Amino acid sequence: MQLRQNTTKYDISNRAKSRQISPAILVKLENKIYPIELKYKTKLIDVEDNNEKYQLKNQGAQDCGRYDYLKDIQRLEGFSEMENFWGGYAILLTNDKSYWSENKKETVDKQFRLTNGLTKTGELLWKDAGEGTMKGRKDVIELKNKYEIKWNEYSNFVRDKNGNFQYCLNIIQRHPYESQ
């Protein structure tokens, strides 16, 4: 098995346009490829555990973080038509509960919400977002498959209000698209 940071760009087609993309990690096992996209979004934390200090900054811009994660899934779907694609993985790790908590407000990123238990599929787009929010993120996201958003605990520093780390993992199937 070969595991390394990927620097190779691959030609993939997405509807009418063809483009080159490079996943964060590309696992090659024999003649099979498994692209992986990772996102790590943090909220302010300053805690020590087992003599190790953790100091994370507040990244904010959760609307863009949600868009970027779903865009990763769309990009990985583009690999699924390659003959040697055997599965892809999109992973989001965060200690920011706004990613997994329910929000009933009407917001510009409502279609990108990653609330635990939601299913994401089809066309996803901004609602009345400003140019600054959408900078570099104007493309509509179109997911061919259905993806259940399920959050799982990764770790928990109970001494800090932002100490609960959760992860969301979505598996991208080979073509033809199958339900997870």
Contact predicate 20/37, CB 8 Å: no
Question: What is the rounded average pLDDT of the residues 50-74?
Answer: 92
- Total domains in the chain come to 1
Residue 93 placed within a domain: yes
Give pLDDT, residue 107: 87
pLDDT at 177 over 80: no
Cα radius of gyration (the chain): 17
What's the pTM value of the predicted model, to 2 decimals? 0.83
pLDDT at 112 over 90: yes
Residue 154 placed within a domain: yes
Residue 122 placed within a domain: yes
Question: What is the rounded average pLDDT of the residues 22-45?
Answer: 87
Residue 168 placed within a domain: yes
Cis peptide before 23 (omega within 30 of 0): no
**Which amino acid appears at position 99 of this protein?**
Y
Residue 67 placed within a domain: yes
Give pLDDT, residue 20: 52
Residue 87 placed within a domain: yes
pLDDT at 179 over 50: no
Residue 144 placed within a domain: yes
- For residue 141, give its domain range: 2-172
Residue 179 placed within a domain: no
